[in-house]
């Protein structure tokens, strides 16, 4: 039996499916956050070099990873929407963007708080920090462009093109910033090369999974609102249980 | 630099208040915004539906 | 209707835009004056110590060039958009990419090239050495076309939007960071006696990359904005 993969690419079928999935993602995210924080703060020992401060890693690294991956996922959805003209992919792209921007912001914020005790400065022009900042700008550009175009079709397509151009540029920006940093002989302190304790790894991966589930749950909730808003004139929307009541 | 000294004496408080509380606050605000948006959109859609129905009647 | 060859189409569009720019000299001059003014404001802001100014000069000149090119980008398509010429261009049977490339090149000749030519004068204000000024000019010569080309994508995407100018800068400036890094890096390399060819050849590679892709992407962006 051939599974019809395109069945769930239509808003009509995706909307109820997302509605069923969201609670599962949300609850498992909550559980994993609790487990991750427990391992991170109770089980994992203090680091030999960084003492207690290293524990910021459990929120800093997952949010950095997710902010970068979400940009790629967003650009991929946007590209799908642009090329195949699928409505849902464009909606997904615009639902992901705010979450990605917030994760980029959390990553910068926690990075600054980590940098203060470790490097003695809130901000150093480290290649990773700088590229993360530029990533935040790219997200904000996408959101601003999407928000300033009234026609949703045009907004989707214009923002999609911008996301694709941005994702082509991300590696160029990263390597140029890295090169610029070595040129300026920036901070000599690198992330401590000590091998990570097994409990630290477990805590980090649990937190990473928790953040992923959170991001998925939020993006799905947001995309449901976007579907409702865009398709409000179609018949299936008016027959939904939550609309009728 | 009193902050520096305080930070080193209470590293766990610093971490919790500084990063985890801020991160979870951001999550909470985002959740509230998403839930609010859903409520508003549902209301709009319901209003439109009622307007349509009263037109048909 | 006779189909023009690609080269004659390119030359035609470029000549038309240059003639139009010459008719509105004030616009071109304002951008130039803005560039000179921003550069001259920096010493007033940070103090007249020549050592520091010499060190800052490439960065200041590059950032000013970036900002002034943002300023003139809004005009790249807007006049044609308002009087309906752009619509005709989209409907024309000729290649839109070549047409866009013609517009980009003429935009660079009007807004980028004058900045390159002004650089020696401003470099002297900052007490830069002759080889440093030479490398800075070479970098700007390679880099300002990239700014015009990448900026054209943003200009096409923000066509006819409210607050288009600010939005345009928000979209385009992050994408221009590599150009800024290599351009200033080359000058710093020559001032500290290192080889500049690595920076300049990377800049050249970016220019080739931009030449290959941006006209097509801009054409797509115009189609999205005009549909």
3-state secondary structure chain C: CCCCCHHHHHHHHHHHHHHHHHHCHHHHHHHHHHHHHHHHHHHHHHCCCHHHHHHHHHHHHHHHHHHHHHHHHCHHHHHHHHCCHHHHHHHCCCCHHHHHHHHHHHHHHHHCHHHHHHHHHHHHHCCCCHHHHHHHHHHHHHHHHHHHHHHHHHHHHCCCCCCHHHHHHHHHHHHHHHHHHHHHHHHHHHHCCCCCHHHHHHHHHHHHHHHHHHHHHHHHHHHHHHC
The answer on pLDDT for A215 being more than 90 is yes
pLDDT at A78: 92
pLDDT at A159: 92
Q: Each residue of B34-56: pLDDT tens digit?
A: 999 999 998 888 888 888 778 77
The answer on pLDDT for A137 being more than 50 is yes
CB C193 within 8 A of CB A170: no
ipTM entry: 0.86
The answer on pLDDT for A58 being more than 80 is yes
Q: Check residue A43 and report its DSSP letter.
A: I
Mean pLDDT of chain A: 84
pLDDT at A23: 92
Which residues in chain A have their CB less than 8 angstroms from residue C178's CB?
Answer: 169, 172-173, 176
Sole residue written with tokens 């069945």: A7
CB A75 within 8 A of CB B35: no
pLDDT at C3: 62
Q: Please choose, from the candidates A196, A207, A198, the residue with its C-alpha nearest in 3D space to the C-alpha of residue A64.
A: A207
The chain A residue lying nearest C172, using CA atoms, is A141
Mean pLDDT of chain C: 87
Strand partners, A47: A51
Structure confidence at residue B1 as a pLDDT band (50, 70, 90): low
Q: Each residue of A166-206: pLDDT tens digit?
A: 988 888 887 887 777 766 544 444 454 455 678 888 888 99
Inter-chain CB pairs, A–B, below 8 Å: 79
The answer on pLDDT for A146 being more than 70 is yes
Chain B nearest CA to A240, separation (Å): 10
Q: Which residue has the higher pLDDT, B5 or C145?
A: C145
Beta carbons of C224 and A141 less than 8 Å apart: no
Beta carbons of A148 and C170 less than 8 Å apart: no
Best B30, B38, B44, B52 residue to mutate vs chain A (most A CBs within 10 Å): B30
Q: Each residue of C56-90: pLDDT tens digit?
A: 888 899 999 999 988 888 888 888 888 888 888 88
Query: Residues in chain B, how many?
Result: 57
For residue A232, give the 3-state DSSP assignment: coil
CB C108 within 8 A of CB C144: yes
Interface of A with B (CB under 8 A): 37, 41, 51-53, 55-56, 59-60, 63, 98-99, 102, 105-106, 109-110, 113-114, 116-117, 214, 218, 221-222, 224-225, 228-229, 232-233, 237-238, 242-244
Structure confidence at residue A231 as a pLDDT band (50, 70, 90): confident
pLDDT at C126: 86
pLDDT at A125: 77
Q: Please choose, from the candidates C160, C149, C179, the residue with its C-alpha nearest in 3D space to the C-alpha of residue C73.
A: C149
């Amino acid at each position: 039996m051939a599974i019809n993969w395109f069945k769930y690419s239509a808003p009509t079928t995706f909307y109820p499916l997302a509605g069923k999935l969201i609670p599962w993602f949300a609850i498992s995210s909550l559980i994993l956050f609790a487990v991750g924080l427990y391992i991170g703060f109770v089980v994992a020992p203090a680091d030999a070099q960084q003492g207690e401060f290293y524990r910021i890693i459990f929120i800093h690294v997952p949010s950095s990873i997710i902010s970068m991956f979400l940009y790629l996922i967003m650009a991929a959805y946007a590209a799908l929407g642009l090329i195949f003209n699928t409505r849902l992919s464009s909606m997904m792209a615009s639902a992901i963007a705010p979450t990605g921007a917030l994760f980029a912001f959390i990553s910068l914020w926690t990075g600054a708080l980590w940098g203060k005790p470790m490097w003695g400065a809130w901000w150093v022009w480290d290649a990773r920090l700088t590229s993360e900042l530029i990533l935040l700008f790219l997200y904000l550009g996408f959101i601003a462009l999407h928000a300033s175009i009234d026609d949703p079709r045009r907004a989707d397509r214009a923002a999609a093109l911008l996301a694709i151009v941005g994702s082509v540029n991300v590696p160029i920006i990263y390597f140029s910033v890295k090169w610029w940093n070595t040129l300026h002989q920036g901070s000599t302190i690198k992330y401590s090369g000590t091998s990570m304790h097994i409990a630290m790894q477990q805590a980090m991966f649990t937190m990473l999974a928790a953040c992923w589930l959170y991001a998925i749950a939020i993006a799905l909730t947001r995309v449901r609102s976007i579907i409702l808003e865009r398709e409000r004139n179609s018949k299936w929307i008016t027959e939904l249980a939550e609309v009728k009541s | 630099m009193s902050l520096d000294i305080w930070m080193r004496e209470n590293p766990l408080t610093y971490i919790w208040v500084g990063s985890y509380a801020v991160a979870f606050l951001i999550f909470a605000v985002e959740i509230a915004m998403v839930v609010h948006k859903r409520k508003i959109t549902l209301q709009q859609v319901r209003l439109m539906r009622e307007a349509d129905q009263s037109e048909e009647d | 209707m006779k189909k023009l060859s690609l080269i004659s189409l390119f030359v035609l569009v470029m000549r038309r835009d240059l003639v139009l720019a010459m008719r509105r000299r004030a616009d071109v001059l304002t951008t130039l004056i803005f560039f000179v003014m921003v550069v001259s404001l920096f010493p007033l802001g940070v103090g007249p110590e020549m050592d520091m100014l010499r060190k800052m000069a490439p960065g200041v000149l590059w950032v000013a060039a970036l900002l002034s090119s943002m300023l003139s980008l809004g005009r790249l398509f807007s006049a044609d958009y308002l009087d309906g010429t752009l619509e005709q261009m989209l409907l024309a049977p000729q290649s839109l990419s070549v047409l866009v490339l013609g517009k980009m090149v003429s935009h660079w000749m009007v807004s980028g090239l004058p900045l390159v030519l002004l650089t020696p004068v401003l470099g002297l204000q900052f007490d830069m050495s002759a080889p440093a000024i030479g490398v800075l000019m070479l970098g700007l010569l390679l880099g300002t076309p990239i700014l015009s080309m990448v900026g054209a994508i943003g200009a096409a995407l923000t066509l006819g939007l409210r607050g288009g100018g600010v939005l345009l800068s928000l979209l385009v400036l992050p994408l221009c960071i590599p150009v800024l890094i290599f351009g200033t890096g080359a000058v710093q390399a020559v001032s500290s006696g290192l080889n500049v060819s690595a920076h300049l050849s990377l800049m050249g590679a970016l220019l080739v990359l931009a030449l290959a892709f941006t006209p097509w992407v801009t054409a797509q962006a115009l189609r999205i904005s005009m549909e």
